[in-house]
Structure 1
Amino acid sequence: MTQSMNSRSIMHYYGYLNGYSHDGKLRQHRAMTEVLPFLRRKPLFRITTQEAKKKLFNIAKKYASENMFSHLINQQSFSGQSRLKTIVNLVEIIKIPLWEVEQFVSDFEKNVLCESMPPLYRTDLVDLLKSSRSVADKKNSLITMPFLLNQVSHTLLYSPFIAKKSDWFIRRTFLHALCNKLSAWLIKYFMNGVYLKLSVQEISTLIEGTTAYQNEIRK
């Protein structure tokens, strides 16, 4: 469950998830490893780095007049850090006609965020971009939106995109099995968020049963 939820930036806040603690109060909780943005994690998106670069180039071609931006995209490794830098550079040079604001937001979702925004947030963003606020404020709203920053926090030094299809799946190894047991033990005894009253073995079995392994990919 945590793998799925933390892989969607609209469902968590820098790795935090809402949960009820043992005293019955609703609090934000996150695993210790979520504090470390330099760890290699499961890719966030099921598209390749090249596909992600092509998406960014498409929006640059449509809303920016500088052809040199395509070279900048190709030069980037597209780690979380370099991807954010590229997006910031893109936002600086784009021009959004007032009559194309809604289409731009749709393009931004599809080609930059690579996921959908919550409907209310999307509506507020459209209203902001159509308002009389300064250009700087409007562009700042694009590069500081929580969903984009959540994506960057997921993987700072590595690419959030896959290199090949199998990257989306996890290799079944002894180390993974050991970490599975350790994770179940930590969830049972050290996580304040209470989701299910299960034993360590039951939690471990639940994690195991919801993990997609590479050797189980259907051809």
Structure 2
Amino acid sequence: MHSISSISSKQASSEHGFTLIEVLMALTVFALISVLAYTTLDSAGTGFNILSEVRQQQELSGWAGKQIRKDMRYLTAAPHYPAPKEGIQSSALNIVPIRIKNDNRGDIELDELWLLVKEPGLNSISEVHYFIDETDNHLIRESRLLLVRDHVEPMRWDFGAIRSWSVEVWDEHANWRQDWNFDAQAFAWPKAVKVTLQVDDKATIASQRQWLMPVLPGKQL
């Protein structure tokens, strides 16, 4: 009996609870682990958000490049129209296949580009206009059929926010030019069009995209 009581007392003494210091140390370690885990997850979440934004910008700029290359494939010469009827765009008589307006503002450019395009599925020629909407710095594509009434709204595509949009043409003398604005009588076909799009102010390859497109003179319709 004496031996059994001795063993029981030893077991009881070895099964005592945690001391206050041990509890505080455990809580401190747990708090440190929680802070480190939260910081790691927060950094990872921020990184994922940045990657998502970059991917979205790349997708939008890629969409813009795909669309402008498509427009260049369907580029057409200006049609001959009789005198427009009342209420119809009289400016259609002076429309040319390619026109550029340069707007250089130091380290950014807000150029405008107009194209005459025979869009697939439409029975008429459209004037396509690329420009930056300065209210939110979004790249916009507007498409409007020629000789439509003035109140008809153009179809509008939004390619998202960008920082700079530069357009140049390669002329018959092998020079890059940022101006290409002729009337219908003096129009000359360029050899190529170069478009440079910059999505932000970072000097990285990912922030800038460029497309070089040959010009195939369209036939008169």
Common fold by TM > 0.5: no
* TM-score bin, normalised by smaller chain: under 0.3
TM-score computed with the length of structure 2 as normaliser: 0.23
Normalized per residue, which structure has more helix? 1
Normalized per residue, which structure has more strand? 2
Report 1 or 2 for greater relative contact order, CA contacts < 8 Å, sequence distance ≥ 6: 1
